[in-house]
Amino acid sequence: MATHPGGLTTAPAPAVRITSLVREFAGRRVLDELDLNIAPDEFVALIGRSGSGKSTLLRVLGGIDHEVTGYEELTAPENVSVVFQDARLLPWKRVLDNVALGLPGADAETRARTALAEVGLAGRENAWPVELSGGEQQRVALARSLVRDPELLLADEPFGALDALTRLRMHALLKQLCARHRPAVLLVTHDVDEAIALADRVVVLDHGRIAADLRVDVPAPRSPGTARYAALRDELLTLLGLDPTAGAEATPEAGTEPAADPGAPQPTDSTPKNAKGSDS
């Protein structure tokens, strides 16, 4: 924050500022007068039942959705990167070429190699995507996104298809990368524990509106065994319509839900069918 001579202290402008955002599909409001601010270098997790508008919001911020119904203010950085649940690597290009794809400048290959080293894949530059495990493919996807030094990173359930151990490793890696590159982050997840582990704030979306916006005030390391972690987890599960004492998984998928977001990104068939599912 900056302090002016008169004593006025001002905060930096938000990386994302949304006021009264409306998006309709076939007459149904998927985003309904939504308001949201995200500060620079802030990590926000977005959770909610299927059909609540999470992926639609990411599409709007990513510039993928050009048919927004209306808004009062909709501000986002120009430099935005997106990571999807599937890595979306081009199977006919080697790993290095996937990361360097579209990078400007004569140093594009050098920057791509550095990005791969950051995600622990130095030495795999000439591998084909089919030769990588699922976790390794997501590492390449992260490298491809962060090599561009985005001001805003949008992540749509990037670890949802990974096994539990690989997911934990990816959590640690993402935190390290965000601390180094310092983008604002909006992560869509169905996993309450993932949201608490990674985010500065957890926003709960319900029927296109923000039902809750909670700061994660759990001290590091964020151990599930602490009283504050358990209290926040129970509060989030209750907001999602789940009974925290029922023993269900900590995701809003545990119950009956509306249909998926009409505007959700549709996966492409770029991940090879015989790709491995763990981070080996």
71-97 confidence digits (pLDDT tens): 999 999 999 999 999 999 999 999 999
Strands in 73-75's sheet, in edge-to-edge order, are 28-38, 16-25, 73-75
pLDDT reported for residue 74 = 94
Does the structure show a pLDDT above 70 at 174? yes
CA angle 162, 80, 195 (to 5 degrees): 40
- Domains of the chain, by residue range, sit at 15-254
pLDDT at 173 over 50: yes
Fold exhibited by the domain 15-254: Rossmann fold (3.40.50)
- Position 250 scores a pLDDT of 57
Please report, to the nearest 10 degrees, the dihedral formed by the alpha carbons of residues 207, 211, 213, 217 taken in order: -120
* Least confident segment among 137-146, 219-228, 253-262: 253-262
- In the 8-state DSSP scheme, what is residue 242? -
Of 64, 75, 96, give the one whose Cα is nearest residue 265.
Answer: 64
